[in-house]
A and B are shown apart, each in its own frame.
Chain A
Amino acid sequence: MIYRELFIQATYLAASIFFILGLRSLTKAEAARKGMQMAAVGMLLAIIGTLVHHEIVRYDVIAVGLVIGTIIGYPLGMKVPMTAMPQQIAISHVLGAIAATLVGVAEYYTHLQRTGTVETATMAAIGLEVLLGGLTVSGSFMAFGKLQEILPGRPITYRGQNAVNLVVLAGAIGLLIYLVINPAHPALFYTMVGLAFLFGFFLVLPIGGADMPVVISLMNSYAGLAAAATGFAIGNNVLIIAGALDGAAGFILSIVMSKAMNRSFGNVLFGAFGSPAAGGQGKSTEGLKINSITAEDAALRLAYARLVIVVPGYGMAVAQGQHQVRELAELIEKQGGEVQYAIHPVAGRMPGHMNVLLAEANIPYDKLLDIEEVNGEFANADVALVIGANDVVNPAARNDKTSPIFGMPILNADQARSIIFLKRSVNPGFAGIENELFYDPKTSMLFGDAKKSLSALVQEVKAITSGT
């Protein structure tokens, strides 16, 4: 009996160590794949350890769950295109949080049924588990809906929204405290679960598409904390450790993302960015002139450039133009030019979104530069090619105190000798803020779908290079 327990604890300890090593391997791209495979082995060990537990008798039920779960999980891992990564992550958070919430409910039910009460510390853990789990389920589901464009991406706001949200949250926390003192009130418990769901839904309702990186990171953190709370509830250290690691990862990413937008956490969650209530829309650009350019002229400029810096944004992801970007870059490199990529931390809909897409298109990662590395380079660049990005190059962040994005670190595309925007229209971006860079005399706009524009550029550059 003691050997069995030792074996179980050994698998949990090994799993914990493998998880930490796996996350550590992510500090280096070359080591990352091996490290994460090790983490997967750790997960397998933890599962085996749990299966030999003496309380486990219904292997048939577990097997059914494992098989169906694998059938659902396989396409989620192998079939989802890289452009849909933010949605994939959001739906995974939903799945993970459902598990944590249901385990919490099952624990509560079982404790009550067996003893008629729940011990104080356990009740607190179960309460936190279903609270965090519940709000992650509905919050991530909302995020998924917005990312998949089932729901409108713009913030949905109404008068008194923050007050309503606070009341719902306060109600859920109040019930939690009451239940810790008086656990034997199932009706209150289920009301609390319901309020947690409602709060997650309300929380994400007013958050716009451009703020999704923060929301996803935050949900990641909550999903982790819910798992850790499960660990407290059932007295299992591997859950506590893995949950803490996940919670830390999500928390750090949320901070990085908020910083990259120069906004506080609270402002992202309760500020409803870009809503009419946000006030100042920056300088008026009325009466200013836009220079549009044909693909032919743009290609000419690109073909003879010595240094081109590509600034990718969500527009490139939507149009799935990353492969055309690589093709274009190869042609420019063949002509003797150099191509670099400037990646803003919040470009796209999740942390690191652009890096993944460009890596998918076979662009070596040493060319993907982050904001500190690349900002000094723009002054040397002949062309800054901005593909479906807007706010991350908006100089208003630097010099217009009235702009809602004032203070946000931006890519210095305006310092390049010339700037070409590939954009569908001059409409302001997701945040709804005018970009004076569109009207700069150095700027040319190539209007149209990013992928079509890129294909046209590839054709034109090809024509130029074969003609000479």
Chain B
Amino acid sequence: MSATAIIEIYVFILAGFVGFLVITRVPPLLHTPLMSAANAISAISLVGSIVAAGSDRNTVSTVLGLIAVTTATANMVGGFLITDRMLKMFRREPDVKPEERK
């Protein structure tokens, strides 16, 4: 296995670990925005799609890349917009302090 591949596996595992630590702390209240946010971030495939579409390697790559750029962009735009729309709706009760619940 090449050195690069090993570094890439390190990066993957460490990023997954960070993700695990951060995401376990997201309250159930925001689980839907979390999912749409994670989904928007997974539109990072767009980076790979741009390379496939724009490198002028062969017709197959260009055509498939074009479709991939289109769907990944749709995923990204839709994902970030709807996450923002949702998060905008979450608000606290105005002025009144939330009373003790326990």
Contact = CB atoms under 8 A, between A and B. Distances in A.
A68 B68 CA distance: 11
Contact of A240 (B15, B54, B74, B101): B15
A464 interface: no
Residue with the greatest number of chain A CB neighbours at <10 A, chosen from B28, B43, B60, B77: B28
Interface in A55-104: 55-59, 61-62, 64-66, 68-70, 72-78, 80, 82, 85, 88-89, 92-93, 95-96, 98-100, 102-103
Contact of B48 (A24, A236, A359): A236
A365 B75 contact: no
Nearest to A37: B84
Nearest to A232: B8
Interface residues on A, range: 35 or more
Nearest to A72: B74
Interface residues of B, number: 87
27 contacts: A24-B22, A46-B44, A61-B66, A62-B54, A65-B69, A69-B71, A72-B74, A80-B82, A82-B89, A92-B39, A96-B43, A99-B48, A100-B48, A103-B51, A103-B52, A105-B64, A106-B64, A107-B52, A107-B61, A220-B39, A223-B42, A224-B38, A244-B19, A246-B19, A247-B16, A249-B19, A253-B34
Interface of B: 1-2, 4-5, 8, 11-13, 15-16, 18-20, 22-58, 60-62, 64-94, 98, 101-102
Interface of A: 15-16, 19-20, 22-24, 26-27, 29-30, 32-33, 36-37, 39-40, 43, 46-47, 50-51, 53, 55-59, 61-62, 64-66, 68-70, 72-78, 80, 82, 85, 88-89, 92-93, 95-96, 98-100, 102-103, 105-107, 109-110, 113-114, 121, 216-217, 220, 223-224, 226-228, 230-250, 252-253, 256, 343, 345, 350-353, 355-356, 359-360, 362, 364-370, 373, 376-377
